[in-house]
Structure formats: structure tokens, C-alpha cells
């Protein structure tokens, strides 16, 4: 009886961790989309998110909730290029959400593996396994077909999403080449990233004229309780997502986290048809999104099979860095 109780407890913990990560990961896109539908200043939003992340981690350390090493200038210099590419990825992703519906946004972001593979071939990494190549081609074909049937096509939004894919690809390649993240916990990486990004973000919002007008608009918007609640969730979502992802990986496995991420993509695409404006349904659009989703699931399976055939110590890839 005691063994059964322990087994049920372990199972419930594993299920809770996977479910929490799936919900947090799905909510991230929808919360940001909901905010940007009412508040168009995406760079100010990103700046506020990074300030919130740094403050939460700092006070968490003071209260003993989280642990991290003291800030090191040497580590900061190593992580600076990564921080620039990471924040460029997030900034363009947020900008794209202002004009692209959620299913198409998720479909375009699934082009990252294709971009990583192309960049790897150009760097002389050799030909990837056939299944990996076919799955990313399937994913890309799905995006093209879906775009042809997207009646809400927004050139600006599509351009921002594709630029986000470029910067995410550069970030992943830099992580792989530099190893700058080695030895750092998820909390430490988030803290360094937030602190390093703030000077650049402040410069951008001031240079573009977004600040201080964006703050006056924000002040007016916060009079709405609904907007304030969504904004608060948006500010802490980064911490919640990284915590649940870390929890899911520790309690279950990296593979489980990857599978949950794929299922999240399927769920987000489905919900995106009806939530926050939804999508004007067209045969081409739906067919393309189905092909794109199938390609994403196939890619995850192909990468899993590839990892099973490799030694335990392998270079990081897209699944290891499921950023926004």
C-alpha cells in the first residue's frame, strides 16, 4: 500500500510538472498577443518584462527562494553577444504578434530548425539525417501553403516573424559555438540576460521616440483592471515559463519536455483559430498549418531518434533552447 501511494505521488508530480509547463508555454504567446492588441509598444513591454525578471530573481535570492552566483563581469562579457541576439529574437517576435495571427506565428517560428540546418551546412557541419531534412522541408512547405491561404496576410508581421527566426538561429549557433551558457543555471542565465539587455533596450526605446510616450499610454491603460491583470501576468510569464520548463525536465526528462513543447504547439495552433480574433478559415490555410504541425512533430521524433544513436555528450540544439 505504501509503495502504491509513493508511486501515485511520483506520477502526480510528473504529470503536474508536464501539465504546468504545457499551460505556461501555451499561455506565453496568448498573453503577449492579448497585451499587444491593446498596447502596441512592444519594445517598452520587453523592457518592462526584463526589469520584472531581474527584480524577481534579485528579491528571490534575498528571501532565500532562489540561489545564484554573484554577478561576474567576465561571465557578463561572454554572455553579452548571446543577450543581444536573444533579445533581438524576442523583440521581433513581439513586434510580429501585432500583425500576425497566432497559428501563423507558431508556423513561421517552426522554420527555426530549417534555418539552423542551412546555417550548419554553410558552416561545413555535414549533411543532417534524411528524416531531419525531410521534416524541416515539410514544415517549410506548410508555412508557404498556409501563407497563400492567409487572408489576413500582414507583410510587416511576416517580416518581423522571419527576422525573429533569423536572430533565434544566430543565438542558437552562438550558444553551440561559444559554450558561454555552460555551468550556469536557468535562473542565472535569466538574470544575466535581463541585466545585460536593459542598457540596449533603454537606448532603443529612447532613440526611437517610443519613450516616454509609451509610459503615458501605459498609465492610461492600467486604469482598466483587465489590462492590468494581463500585464502583470505578462511581466512574470518569463519566470513562470522557465521554472516550469526546468521542473518538467528535472521531474521527467528532456524528451518529455520536448514532447510537451510539440503538443503545446498543436494546442496553441488549434486555440489560435478561435481566440483573440482567430483566423479566417480557408482550405489552403488549414492544409498548410496541418502540414506544418505534422512537420514539427516529425522533426521532434527525428531528433529524438538521432540523439538515441549519439553519445550522451552532444552539442545543444533547438530543443534544448525553446525560447519565445
Torsion of CA 49, 50, 54, 55, to 10 degrees: -40
Contact 112, 165 (CB under 8 A): yes
**DSSP sequence for 132-173:** HHHHHHHHHHHHHHHHHT-TT--HHHHHHHHHHHHHHHHHHH
At residue 293's C-alpha, the angle toward residues 290 and 295, to 5°, is 110
pLDDT value at 314 more than 50: no
Reported pTM: 0.82
pLDDT category at 253 given cuts 50, 70, 90 is low
44-59: pLDDT as tens digits: 999 999 999 999 999 9
Which range, 2-11, 214-223, 254-263, is most confident?
Answer: 214-223
Which range, 69-78, 146-155, 220-229, is most confident?
Answer: 220-229
Cα–Cα separations (whole angstroms), residue 239 to 25, 35, 254, 264: 11, 18, 19, 18
Per-residue model confidence (pLDDT) at position 167: 94
158-211: pLDDT as tens digits: 999 999 999 989 988 887 776 666 778 778 888 998 999 999 999 999 998 999
Cα–Cα separations (whole angstroms), residue 196 to 64, 71, 105: 23, 11, 27
pLDDT category at 300 given cuts 50, 70, 90 is confident
Cα(253)–Cα(255) distance, rounded to whole angstroms?
Answer: 5
Per-residue model confidence (pLDDT) at position 180: 64
Contact 294, 142 (CB under 8 A): yes
Per-residue model confidence (pLDDT) at position 215: 93
Cα(218)–Cα(39) distance, rounded to whole angstroms?
Answer: 7
What letter would DSSP give residue 127? P
Closest CA to 295 of 148, 173, 166, 133: 133
Cα(159)–Cα(78) distance, rounded to whole angstroms?
Answer: 30
Determine if the peptide bond prior to 134 is cis (ω within 30°). no
pLDDT value at 307 more than 80: no
Amino acid at each position: 500500500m505504501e509503495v502504491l501511494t509513493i508511486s501515485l505521488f511520483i506520477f502526480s508530480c510528473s504529470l503536474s510538472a508536464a501539465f504546468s509547463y504545457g499551460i505556461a508555454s501555451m499561455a506565453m504567446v496568448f498573453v503577449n498577443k492579448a497585451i499587444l492588441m491593446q498596447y502596441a509598444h512592444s519594445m517598452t513591454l520587453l523592457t518592462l518584462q526584463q526589469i520584472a525578471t531581474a527584480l524577481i530573481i534579485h528579491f528571490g535570492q534575498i528571501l532565500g527562494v532562489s540561489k545564484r552566483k554573484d554577478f561576474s563581469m567576465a561571465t557578463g562579457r561572454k554572455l553579452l553577444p548571446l543577450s543581444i541576439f536573444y533579445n533581438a529574437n524576442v523583440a521581433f517576435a513581439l513586434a510580429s504578434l501585432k500583425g500576425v495571427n497566432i497559428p501563423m506565428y507558431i508556423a513561421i517560428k517552426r522554420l527555426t530548425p530549417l534555418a539552423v540546418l542551412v546555417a550548419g551546412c554553410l558552416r561545413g557541419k555535414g549533411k543532417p539525417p534524411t528524416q531531419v531534412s525531410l521534416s524541416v522541408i515539410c514544415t517549410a512547405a506548410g508555412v508557404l501553403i498556409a501563407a497563400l491561404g492567409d487572408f489576413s496576410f500582414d507583410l510587416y508581421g511576416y517580416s518581423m516573424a522571419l527576422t525573429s527566426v533569423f536572430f533565434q538561429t544566430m543565438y542558437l549557433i552562438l550558444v553551440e559555438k561559444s559554450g558561454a551558457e555552460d555551468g550556469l543555471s536557468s535562473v542565472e542565465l535569466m538574470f544575466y540576460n535581463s541585466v545585460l539587455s536593459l542598457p540596449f533596450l533603454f537606448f532603443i526605446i529612447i532613440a526611437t521616440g517610443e519613450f516616454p510616450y509609451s509610459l503615458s499610454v501605459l498609465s492610461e491603460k492600467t486604469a482598466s483592471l483587465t489590462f492590468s491583470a494581463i500585464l502583470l501576468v505578462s511581466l512574470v510569464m518569463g519566470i513562470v515559463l522557465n521554472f516550469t520548463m526546468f521542473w518538467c525536465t528535472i521531474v521527467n526528462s528532456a524528451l518529455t519536455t520536448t514532447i510537451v513543447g510539440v503538443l503545446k504547439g498543436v494546442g496553441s495552433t488549434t486555440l489560435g483559430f478561435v481566440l483573440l480574433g482567430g483566423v479566417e478559415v480557408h482550405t489552403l490555410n488549414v492544409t498548410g498549418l496541418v502540414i506544418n504541425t505534422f512537420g514539427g512533430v516529425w522533426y521532434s521524433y527525428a531528433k529524438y531518434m538521432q540523439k538515441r544513436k549519439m553519445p550522451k555528450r552532444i552539442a545543444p540544439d533547438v530543443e534544448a533552447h525553446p525560447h519565445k
